[in-house]
Amino acid sequence: MRRIFTVVLFLSYTLSAMAQAKQVANPTRTLFPYGGSVTKEFLRYIIRLTKKDNPKICFIATATGDNPNAIVNWYAISEDLPMRPYFQRSFIASYTEPKTFEENLLSMDAIVVSGGNTLNMMAIWKEQGIDTILRKAYNKGIVLSGGSAGSLCWFLGGTTDSRPRDLSIVKCLGFIQASHCPHYHSELLRKPLYFENILKGKLAPGYAIDDKAGIVFENEKYVKVVAIDDKSNAYYVSVVDGKVDEKLLPVEEIIK
């Protein structure tokens, strides 16, 4: 009887170890783009998405030029939350930066990207190899998030105010094979231009998000919409029978 119990116990431990190994080998790739600026509510939700106690979360503000105000705001928002906040500068010098971008970013549990100038951010990331590192982070299961430029960057592309005068199209990382429009209801020019670009085939069908809403993607698949209030939403915009089709996505959770 004791021998049978030992065998059963051994098999139980073995199956548990195999399940854990499989989870490590095939981590869930998670993205959480939201439409506007980082808030305490969004940050609390990102902490939940990591599924870890006291996670390490890094803020990247390349799109602001590493603006000191963005850095101060990041630490102020995260001050009393159950997390360890970090900031990765993009404008650095070898003399003062002992670790590589890869060493820093791949040690995190989540990475949050700020708003700002999307076009400049993409160019700097490509030149510094940060785009490749973020792909490694994504494949590793590190939660990737951000709003405005920090949400647009994960998609194929969308419109940006990074150039003078008019909103223009920018190509991004393409982790999600769809286009994206942040600030959907807060900036009046966004929606009609997004419609026009999708209708003309300049942009692929994609996801539009209000400032206080966000979308969870897992393994490149849409999972759900969350929002800070009951007035904020997200949409899937495509072309049906030659006309733009705006599909309201249900908000599954109001986060606090």
Distances (CA, A) of 165 to 161, 169, 180: 8, 13, 21
**Type of residue at 55:** P
The CA dihedral of 65, 69, 71, 73, to the nearest 10 degrees, is -140
Side by side, which strands form the sheet with 56-60? 84-88, 56-60, 110-113, 143-147, 30-34, 213-218, 221-227, 251-254
Tracing tokens 């939201």 back to the chain, one arrives at 34
Q: Residue 23 is encoded by which pair of tokens?
A: 């989870």
Q: Which residues are catalytic?
A: 148, 183
